[in-house]
Amino acid sequence: MQRTDLTELWLEAGFISDALKYIPDHVNITISDPASQPPTPGAPYQAIIASSLIQYDGALMDTLPNLRMIARTGIGYDNVNLADATARGIVATNTPDGPTESTAEHTVAMMLSLAKRIKQGDANVAAGKWGPRGGTLIGIELKDKTLGLVGLGRIGKRVANICRLGLEMRV
């Protein structure tokens, strides 16, 4: 399917709406509401941009006679039955690098949150506990600490780089 052939697109979830500017103006776009609701049987959709909320199997594919492509927004095909798609001539794609940066940043954010005791500090502020506190909320610095990673795929490598270069940790 060429880009100019596409006229009907269904989005499983609206979270990718910032990417819609790349879709040509002649394409009719439908966003699922709610996100976990499968497309209406018999709908004219030629392509689906899918997250991980709905299982795409042969039974669902058979209800969409014009479907030619399922484009996953994640790294895998966990919710797309590839054998069923292939048997029906439906192309399935994914975005292996798509979540790398976001996941790595989230990992480092969680590390910083734990090291700086952000949750506990936020709870104190919410409870109106202002002012100096004892050493329990001081937290630790990550600089010069050692980080052990299990696996150095795309995400692990990015976490390692952020921690080594940005936080001066030993990795």
**CATH code at 72?**
3.40.50.720
Give yes or no: residues 81 and 121 share one domain.
Answer: no
> What is the predicted pLDDT for the residue at 1?
56
What percent of the chain lies above the pLDDT cut of 90? 67
**145 domain-assigned:** yes
| pLDDT exceeds 90 at position 141 | yes
Give yes or no: residues 20 and 82 share one domain.
Answer: yes
> What is the predicted pLDDT for the residue at 93?
97
Residue 62 φ/ψ, nearest 5 degrees: -65, -20
Buried b (16+ CB within 10 A) or exposed e, 95-106: eeeeebeebbee
- Between 52 and 13, the more confident residue is 52
| pLDDT exceeds 70 at position 16 | no
> What is the predicted pLDDT for the residue at 146?
98
**171 domain-assigned:** no
> What is the predicted pLDDT for the residue at 15?
66
If one counts the domains in the chain, the total is 2
Helix axes 118-126, 100-116, angle to 10 degrees: 70
Domain end residue (candidates: 93, 110, 135):
93
pTM (global) more than 0.85: no
> Domain span at residue 57?
3-93
Give yes or no: residues 107 and 81 share one domain.
Answer: no
| Of the listed ranges 92-106, 117-131, 141-155, the one predicted with least confidence | 117-131
Amino acid at 73: T
**Across 57-67, average pLDDT:** 98
Q: What are the CA-CA distances from residue 25 to residues 17, 28, 31, 48, 49 (Å)? A: 14, 8, 16, 17, 17
| Of the listed ranges 9-18, 23-32, 85-94, 100-109, the one predicted with least confidence | 9-18
**Across 9-22, average pLDDT:** 80
Contacts of range 65-68, beta carbons closer than 8 Å, 24 or more positions apart: 66/8, 68/1
> What is the predicted pLDDT for the residue at 89?
98
